[in-house]
Amino acid sequence: MWNRRTLLTSIAAATLLPTSRARAEEMPGITDKEIKIGNTNPHSGPASAYGMIANTEVAFFKMVNDRGGIGGRMITYISLDDGYSPPRTVEQTRRLVEQEGVAFMFQGLGTPPQTAVRQYLNAKKVPQLFVATGADKFGDPEHFPWTMGYNPSYRTESAIYGKYLLKQKPDAKIAVLYQNDDFGKDYLAGLRQGLGDAYAKMVIKEVSYETTDPTIDSQVITLQGSGADVLVTAATPKWAAQTIRKVADVGWKPLHFMSNVSISVGSVITPAGAEKAAGMISAAYGKDQTDPQWAHDPGMTEWRGFMKQYMPDADLTDQNIPYAYAAAGTLMQVLKQCGDNLSRANIMKQAASLTDLELPTLLPGIRINTSAANFHPIRSLQLQRWTGKAWELFGSVISA
């Protein structure tokens, strides 16, 4: 565990693991000197803001290699662009598995793209590890034992919003804007769970958008016209920023809840206009690097040191970067637990054996826990409100 130790110290310890390599050649993607890892990410296209996640992981693994790798093995991380297009994800994933010969897939991004390759990877018994999405479906070890998500479940997040509204604004008239895929529909399901029998009465309008839509202007106008005084938005960054801007531009002032995948100051709030997002509520599990309360936090000090050395030109306000730092740190713990047995089966076994893992960029009280029956590594969140200048946490950490 990282508990009470820095991530860098743990990485250094991992380089000293025993290095008996008798079985290395029997392990796909593993040699005496290399661990080959695959990734697909939208480096281009409508969700390209997330490309920074893979870029951060490239820098993170360079840091690991500079410190001697894992048990003397260097990490080769191959991230291919899928443009957030499921057919391209299939093509690129097959290339990584069948041509590049990766040991496993790590942090593939997006609900539709990763759904498109889930069956293939499970049939091949290739770990689809720490998928960068909170879709509930990626925590189903009974049917997909080679797939594990990373983000908190979207359903859990949305259910928390529903329960908050029942308590704080029981007479709310709720409008929902959601991406028309499993990502967006998970938020509808969670909101329905959180509101219970009150859903039919409180939710007065649901409107979707497609990832091919150039704007969501018409959707926002339709939702405003419903008379709703609460807006729940389940959108990825491009459309989240558009929603924040359009809601303000038309003079609508609903209590606005935003999906936690679209709360980055750098890639969402600033492009939308910081003042236009004032009062917006979301849920967090990672520390906001723009928040002064973390200025002297040991974990964030460690992260800033990494940024200074390995990503000096990156946008320090982009929340995708500390997110990726945590995800890569989680993988390092998995590989450390594997010791010299880096078979695909043992990698998956160790991924499902994480206990009370504390990471530098996660909020206090939020830990990584997995088991053979729990493929949702992060199950806790804390509500936060955008003041117009920063995210302000309120309430306590809530566990699902």
Question: What is the predicted pLDDT for the residue at 399?
Answer: 77
* CATH 3.40.50.2300-classified regions of the chain: 7-152+292-378, 154-284
Question: What is the predicted pLDDT for the residue at 267?
Answer: 87
Q: Which residues contact 32 (CB under 8 A, 6 or more apart)?
A: 21, 24, 72, 73
**C-alpha–C-alpha distance, residues 259 and 237, integer Å:** 9
Question: What is the predicted pLDDT for the residue at 10?
Answer: 52
Question: Environment class of residue 127 by beta-carbon count within 10 Å: exposed (0-12), middle (13-18) or buried (19+)?
Answer: buried
Q: What are phi and psi of 109, to 5 degrees?
A: -110, 140
Question: What is the predicted pLDDT for the residue at 111?
Answer: 92
Question: Environment class of residue 390 by beta-carbon count within 10 Å: exposed (0-12), middle (13-18) or buried (19+)?
Answer: middle
Q: Does the pLDDT at position 61 exceed 60?
A: yes
Nearest Cα residue to 326 out of 304, 349, 296, 303: 303
Q: Does the pLDDT at position 71 exceed 80?
A: yes
**C-alpha–C-alpha distance, residues 60 and 398, integer Å:** 30
Task: Say how many C-beta atoms besides its own lie within 10 A of residue 260's C-beta.
Answer: 20
Please give the structure tokens belonging to residue 229. Answer: 């005084």
Nearest Cα residue to 359 out of 369, 368, 349, 372: 368
Query: What pTM value is reported for the model?
Result: 0.85
Q: Which residues contact 141 (CB under 8 A, 6 or more apart)?
A: 148, 352, 372, 373, 375
Question: What is the predicted pLDDT for the residue at 18?
Answer: 42
Q: Does the pLDDT at position 32 exceed 50?
A: yes
Q: What architecture does CATH give domain 7-152+292-378?
A: 3-Layer(aba) Sandwich (3.40)
Average pLDDT value over all residues in the chain: 93
Please give the structure tokens belonging to residue 216. Answer: 């969501």
Q: What is the DSSP string of 342-376?
A: --HHHHHHHHT---SB--TTBPTT--B--BTTB--
Nearest Cα residue to 247 out of 206, 279, 284: 279
Question: What is the predicted pLDDT for the residue at 3?
Answer: 46
Q: Does the pLDDT at position 366 exceed 80?
A: yes
Q: Which residues contact 145 (CB under 8 A, 6 or more apart)?
A: 122, 348
CA 261 from centre of chain = 7
**C-alpha–C-alpha distance, residues 302 and 166, integer Å:** 40
Please say whether the beta carbons of 95 and 360 come within 8 A.
no
Q: For residue range 174-216, what is the model confidence (pLDDT) as tens digits?
A: 999 999 998 999 999 999 999 999 999 999 999 999 989 999 9
**What's the mean pLDDT in 307-331?**
96
Please say whether the beta carbons of 248 and 303 come within 8 A.
no
Question: What is the predicted pLDDT for the residue at 14?
Answer: 52
Q: Does the pLDDT at position 235 exceed 70?
A: yes
Q: For residue range 322-348, what is the model confidence (pLDDT) as tens digits?
A: 999 999 999 999 999 999 999 999 999
Q: Give CATH for domain 154-284.
A: 3.40.50.2300
Q: What is the DSSP string of 77-122?
A: EEEEE-TT-HHHHHHHHHIIIIIS--SEEE--B-HHHHHHHHHHHH
Please give the structure tokens belonging to residue 393. Answer: 């946490």
Task: Say how many C-beta atoms besides its own lie within 10 A of residue 20's C-beta.
Answer: 11
Strands 281-284 and 380-386: antiparallel
Please give the structure tokens belonging to residue 159. Answer: 């259910």
